[in-house]
Structure 1
């Protein structure tokens, strides 16, 4: 559903050139949650921005539902849903108005948009919020509305960038339920986070990024076998404070 082929991005500064993403490749299938993990500066958000078409890669490409972003970026974007820690609600619109507005932006017809809104509002428990102005919502309520907004056009691929940042325990559990729903309805999901304990609970497979390169990729069982470590945080500690160069899982 999502295929990343040797994506590379360099940023040229006054004194040095930084390779933010270095030949990154992975794929995510329907109903699979892939954790793209790493510390700040590892290249996670840069990767998502290239997939979303916000920045152009220096080399490599991404395919969304079989559509190369370099060939037809608008068609590829229409197959993507995106959720980040920033809610970006429109405060003067009601929740219903805002969600139907986004559905219209993606070319979803009024009847279909209304039907999807009804289903998603029930899934995310925002039925009682639909006719409230978005600017009056609490942080947790805005987050639930943002999660519905990402799915209103029924994209096959969902990208989540640090979705639990700044949320309390209740908000985090909402994200967990949302990702379970995405898996259940067959979405291909990429979760970018540095919360490794949460990633172990959420994800089916993992890609561990360090300095823009994929160091480990696989299920938690595979990563434990190749790294000799039990938990993701221990694997990253080895990567960031190596006594010997880390092994790589062939992909």
Structure 2
């Protein structure tokens, strides 16, 4: 069954996979040791997939269609219980939900301010109008205005994520002694920043930066294989939604 998984995800103009939500699922599939085929879908076409949430990532396994990275993580744990757990049971799932909320409401909005125009420039021209319209609504300003103050924004951001630093002083991973979905949620956010901009979001000597590099090395350097030319999982037989059939 694992070889029949299709992952629908966003990509930049050069086909680099950059979406933080899609990377949550990419890391989850790697954690489970599941193979899949990547299909690139544009922002305006997501609704055509037929899901109720109209969002990506989404996976299809046979007749089963699951969208939203959290729902996918739950599904993978339920469908493949013999493989390493992502959420760690009910208690782990509850704590991971907190990490998700912290990331969605604190980390993501700030990274968007830091990379807004840079990610726009790297985006497929087909996606740019949708991205600009929706993200400027979120930001309450233009992409250019949001990014213009990032030297000040990044200093406040580095202080706001200090609880991550404190956690990593006490244990190697956010999930504990081994990585789990909690780690992949935050790793995916910084992966987005790494791929969207050359601006330094994390200082090189930050313990979070060290954890992030270890995260990219997980699963045989999976997090460093962001483009089809890297030969990473999911890119064999790669397709685009409009040509996927």
Query: Fold-level match, TM-score > 0.5?
Result: no
Larger Rg: 1
Select the structure that is richer in helix. 2
Larger proportion of strand: 1
